[in-house]
Amino acid sequence: MSEKRPVVVDLRFARESVVNALRSAFPDRPVIDMGDPANADRDLSDAEFAVVWKPDPALFRRATGLTAIFSGGAGVDHILSAYELPDLPIIRFVDRSLTDRMSEWVVWQCLHHLRNGIAYAGQQQARVWHEIADQPEAREVTVGVMGLGVLGADAVRKLEIMGFDVIGWSRRAKAINGVVTFDAKGLDTFLGRTDILVGLLPLTDDTRGIYDRALFSRLRRTGPLGGPIFLNAGRGGSQKEAELVECLKDGTLKAASVDVFEREPLDRNSSLWSMPNVIVTPHAAAASDVRALFRHVEAQIGRFEAGKPLEFVVDRTAGY
């Protein structure tokens, strides 16, 4: 019998992936898998750590002996905004594969808009052979990344490799080699230089609804793409969706790629599905790999037990 106290796992991920990943995770520690109906009424008071993604709200009332809470994703708004939480460290998921996936999505979408992907897809449907004239180069296009954390910083680097002119904005000043960055006070200047705006912000009280008509109207209108383009892969709660739709209709925005929505799944009646200048992906920019998640949790528990500080701990005051 292990002397270690259990990890309780409550992840609303694909069931099979959790079950498979749990087979090899936490070899020296009991696991309580809340997806297993046999654990529905189990006493959770002995659990020491929780790994959660949108967990059952009762979990934190039942698991009264927790030492730390691990988020199943990089974002923590799913926990912070939805539950009365015990005063414990909350640890974000930070992982190379998740970061790579997000940068792939950002670079993919920026290239798609740069290279007239929407127009060419339409032409292919109509069997039209027509080369669109005046193809700008990446270096002529300024991509402005909002949020220069783990994901934003990696995306900036990879966009630069593709040749884009990249600038960034974050709450506090940042120094990133070769990239012009702006802090909270520099928002106006940042927006006025941006042709493609990339949203990689966490959802907090300060960022809720930040992407609205007023913000879109401040983007550069004279750039080589013929109008500003908006990408959001942070959180849908940061965009005012009705205003986004209106701005896409009246030309304030030329186009958008949206991975996250105010309500998910996106309502079948949302105009975003069928707008010709919009690309929708279903919160799929950077899925958490559950095996990598458990490796990260195991590593952090190891640090904790060795008396080392936990990494990637959420600042509960800032909300991310």
User: Considering the rule CB under 6 A, would residue 223 count as an interface residue with ligand OXD?
Assistant: no
The only residue of 32, 138, 150, 244 in contact with ligand NDP, by rule CB under 6 A = 150
Judged by beta carbon distances under 5 to 8 A according to partner kind, the member of ligand NDP, ligand OXD, none in contact with residue 156 is none
Site string for ligand OXD, 76-115 (x = CB under 6 A): -----------------x----------------------
User: Considering the rule CB under 6 A, would residue 252 count as an interface residue with ligand OXD?
Assistant: no
User: Considering the rule CB under 6 A, would residue 172 count as an interface residue with ligand NDP?
Assistant: yes
What whole-number distance in Å separates Cα of residue 313 and Cα of residue 230?
30
113-142 binders of ligand NDP (CB under 6 A): none
31 versus 292: smaller Cβ distance to ligand NDP: 292
* Residue of 283, 291, 295, 316 with catalytic role: 283
User: Considering the rule CB under 6 A, would residue 204 count as an interface residue with ligand NDP?
Assistant: yes
Tell me if residue 283 is catalytic: yes
Computed from CA positions of residues 99, 50, 13, 245, in that sequence, does the dihedral angle turn out positive or negative? negative
In this structure, which amino acid lies at residue 43?
A: D
User: Considering the rule CB under 6 A, would residue 228 count as an interface residue with ligand NDP?
Assistant: no
User: Considering the rule CB under 6 A, would residue 288 count as an interface residue with ligand OXD?
Assistant: yes
User: Considering the rule CB under 6 A, would residue 285 count as an interface residue with ligand NDP?
Assistant: yes
User: Considering the rule CB under 6 A, would residue 74 count as an interface residue with ligand OXD?
Assistant: yes
User: Considering the rule CB under 6 A, would residue 228 count as an interface residue with ligand OXD?
Assistant: no
**Which positions are catalytic?**
235, 283
Q: Interface residues with ligand NDP (CB under 6 A)?
A: 73-75, 98, 102, 147-152, 170-172, 184, 200-204, 206-207, 233-235, 259-260, 283, 285-286, 320
